[in-house]
Amino acid sequence: MEKIFNPSDYRRLPNCLVPCACCGSKEHVRVFKGDRYEFGIRTVACSQCGLIFTSPRPPDDWFEKFYRYHYRQYYESVSVPDEAYLNRDWIKGRHTRNVNLLASLLPTKGTILDIGCAEGTFLDLFRREFPCWTLHGIEPSEDFSKFAVAHYGLQGVAMAKFEELSVRYLPSSFDLITASHVLEHLLSPDDFFKTARVLLKPGGLLFIDVPDAEGDVKGISNLHIGHVYHFSSGSLDQFLAKHGFTKVRAQKGDEKPIRWTFQVVARKAASLPSWKPATVDIKRIARDFRKHCQIGWTDRISKVVKPVKRSVAGLFRAPTAEAS
Ligand SMILES: [Zn+2]
């Protein structure tokens, strides 16, 4: 397996400022330095709109290789899904909750696109609740996308990255677009909302499930190289408003055994509004996020960092010389 990054090499990245993906501002405040695998990741908050994100970060092409070949092994200790993986408590728990949240909002027939559909469990559970819907999904991992087709018979699942969506599908193709634990990984959430708006039919629904930057559990565990954004309900609302979505349902996660996520369902409005960032209290946002990050700070040393450091030793190497 190709080695692509060494945790210690994050510190050698050029100190390039990442502009805010929501409002475009280049003004930000440092809110935290540290992460669950001790890369030394730096996290900032946009001074204008309050969006929290990683800055600096590895080059974009690094992430493409990371998600195609390494991500599942790195974060879930599995390269190819199997029965033991499917039986992990959180998988059916999370997806069943999300199907239930959507159940009262959907008609009996429609077309769904699940972005980042992984091994296909969500689409399989969705099909049981909505047998007359047409199912589509994309997944960047070759092994996981193949599994979705072979194991669940999900013929509408393809190995593809998010950036290929507008080539694969015509505008106004879907009644529902879902993205569970995807948005925090994408390098451009702005492009995600633009694409979702194009691909949804008039009045179509967008469902998003993300870790909660204001959650009272997980904390430091949510900071790692895959999570380039950390959304609160407030910062997600700004994206929805900017891209012409009206929120119709929201809930704080009830994922067992811990509560660390939130979910939003929003409807595509008829037209794009004129938009400017809402005023935020950046000092409060920074203070609350630092407090959030302290959760699990002690536990990670013995339970998370050391075993993971051993397991990833040799998996990653430095980025290209020009990025060093
Ligand atoms: Zn901003």
Average pLDDT score over residue span 37-57: 92
How close is the Cα of 180 to the center of ligand 1, in Å? 23
Distance 58 CA to ligand 1 centre (A): 20
* 18 alpha carbon – ligand 1 mean position (Å): 11
Centre of ligand 1 from the C-alpha of residue 46, in Å: 5
Query: Do the bridges between strand 28-33 and strand 200-211 make them parallel or antiparallel, or are there none, so unpaired?
Result: unpaired
Q: Which domains does the chain have, with CATH numbers?
A: 7-323 (3.40.50.150)
Give residue 324 CA to ligand 1 midpoint distance, Å.
27
Would you state the structure tokens that stand for residue 88, as one six-digit string? 């992990």
Q: What residues sit around ligand 1, an ion, with C-beta below 5 angstroms?
A: 20, 22-23, 25, 46, 48-49, 51
Report pLDDT digits (tens) over 225-236. 889 999 999 999
Q: How confident is the model at residue 307 (pLDDT cuts 50, 70, 90)?
A: very low
Distance CA 13, CA 318 (A): 9
Distance in Å, CA 48 to ligand 1 centroid: 5
d(CA 138, CA 265): 20
Q: What is the pTM of this model?
A: 0.88
- Measured in Å, residue 27 CA sits from the centre of ligand 1 at 8
Angle formed by the axes of helices 121-129 and 89-103, to 10°? Answer: 40
Q: What tokens were used for 271?
A: 């037209």
Q: Taking Cα atoms as reference points, which of 306, 287, 291, 285 lies closest to residue 219?
A: 291
Outline where DSSP puts E strands in the chain.
28-33, 42-46, 52-54, 111-115, 134-139, 157-159, 174-180, 200-211, 229-230, 245-252, 261-268
Separation of CA 301 and ligand 1 centre (Å): 33
pLDDT higher than threshold 50 for residue 324:
no
The band of 44, judged by pLDDT with boundaries at 50, 70 and 90, is: very high
